[in-house]
Structure 1
Amino acid sequence: MSNEVQTSSPQSGSAEESAGVQGLIDRLKTDGVSRGQEEAERLIAEAREEAMKLVDEAKRQADQIVSDAREEAQQLNENGKQALRLASRDVSLQLKEELQREFQNRLGKLVGDSLQNPDLIRQLILEIAGVAVPSDAKSGDGKSSGEGGQTKILLSAGNDPAANARLDELIRGIGGDLLREGVEIGVQPGHDSGLRVQQRDQVVEVDLTDQAITAVLMRFLAPRFQSIIEASN
């Protein structure tokens, strides 16, 4: 029996090595591609997740900005309405005050003009004299039994020289009779039209000037005037 020795040729060994190297290369390529795909998918997933977070955060911030803007706009609207209400109230109050002041000025002028009427002044003087010197205080001849000049009436037509001159003329016409009844009368030019009555023994002074009469009238007329203004609003 003969022994056979098998030998491989150099070409056969080289082919096997080449096949092994190629297989290793192919396996590395396959593993590399697989790992690369996995890494790419992981990166894409992370990027997608991060993008979703950014979108959600941006949406949340946008909603917050819109909410804040609406709240601020509502607050500005309320503040504007409140400012308008206050401004309207202030204008209304100012208008009422101006109307009442104008009404009082016109009433005062009307009273002042009336108190420069000699006929009205004469009537007032006679009425005051009748009250100041009652009939039972006069003597049988119609004259006052008391001392003269116990009641003093001071007339004024303001700073109007012509009106004060008319009062002087009026006094000359009735002053003598009044003095005999105990009533002294004179002219006292000043800023107020009308008359003042002084009762000497009782230290009493009655103010019947235009300002005093206007003030009294305003106490009665002002509420009515205000109600008319309120009704017109």
Structure 2
Amino acid sequence: MSNEQLSSGVQDLVDRLREKGIEEGRHQAEEITNNAKKEAHDIISAAKQEAEQIISLARHEKEQLEKAGRDAMNLAARDAILELKETLSHQFSEQVHGLVSHHLRDEDLLQRVILEIAGKARPTQTTGAFELLLPDDVVGLKELRLHPENVQEGTLSHFVLSVSAEMLREGVTIGSHTGDGIRIRLIEEDIEIDLSTQAITKLFLEHLLPRFRALLEGSIK
């Protein structure tokens, strides 16, 4: 083999090796590129999925916070309405109590009540003797008994003085108590009928307060 042929063979070998290396390098580059693209796609997909989860969680938390806020506001509004109704009911009860107390200190009203009791609540064989108890601060029975000459005509004390003798003949005695209103005591049966402010107010409120609260339910919701 001549030198020229040897040189040509070497050159062919070098060329083939170069082409093979270039081809392998191209394949490796394509493989690396494809792998890189796949990894990038996987990373992007994972990041997108994680972002969607974060957004979904944030949206859920926002909805929960909004619901909690609405619930808190509804609860606060309900408590405020209940408190308002309770306050108004208490004020109504106090007004009724005040009106009853005012009227039970009215001497004209007390005179009419005394006459009514004197006319209808007479002792019988069944009930026995009565004692009519009047408010001491209005009538002043102690002062009335000690100084009847000082009683002014037209006052409740004068009225009691004028009817007490007749009532005593009917078996009804007159006494006093430290509260307000009138009380009727059945002596033999140890029973007392309470016509005080507290008792009458309680009786009125048993009928009036439910109606007042029903009106509140219709106007305050």
Query: TM-score scaled by structure 1?
Result: 0.77
1:121 lines up with 2:110 in the alignment: yes
Q: Report Cα offsets for 1:73-98 as digits up to 9, x if no partner.
A: 22222233233222222221221111
Deviates more, 1:107-116 or 1:167-176: 167-176
> 2:152 — aligned with what?
none
Q: How many residue pairs end up in the alignment?
A: 204
| CA spacing shift, 1:164–1:82, aligned 2, 3 Å | farther
Contact 1:155 1:167 in 2 (8 A): no
2:35 corresponds to which residue? 46
For normalisation by structure 2, the TM-score amounts to 0.81
Larger relative contact order (CA 8 Å, sep ≥ 6): 2
Asked whether 1:109 is paired with 2:90, we answer: no
- Contact conserved, 1:168 with 1:187, CA < 8 A, in 2? no
**What is the match of residue 82 of structure 1?**
71
Larger displacement relative to structure 2 (92-101 or 68-77): 68-77
CA distance in 1, matches of 2:113, 2:158: 16
- Note the residue ranges of structure 1 that are not aligned, 5 or more in a row: 1-7, 138-145
**What are the ranges of 5 or more consecutive residues in structure 2 without an aligned counterpart?**
141-154
What is the aligned partner in structure 1 of residue 84 from structure 2?
A: 95
CA shift at 1:164, angstroms? 5.4
Identity %, equivalent residues: 39
8 Å CA contact 1:167, 1:187 repeated in 2:
no
The aligned amino acid for 2:102 is: D
Which residue of structure 1 aligns with residue 134 of structure 2? 155
| AA at the equivalent of 2:209 | A
Q: Which one has the largest radius of gyration?
A: 1
Looking at structure 2, the residues matched to 73 and 102 of structure 1 have their Cα atoms a distance apart, in angstroms, of: 43
CA contact (8 A) 2:111 2:156 kept: no
Cα displacement (A) at 1:16: 4.4
**Residue 133 of structure 1 aligns to a residue in which SS?**
coil
Query: Which residue of structure 1 aligns with residue 175 of structure 2?
Result: 186
SS at match of 2:181: strand
Moved more, 197-206 or 211-220: 197-206
Which residue does 2:212 correspond to in 1?
A: 225
Match of 1:63 in 2: 52
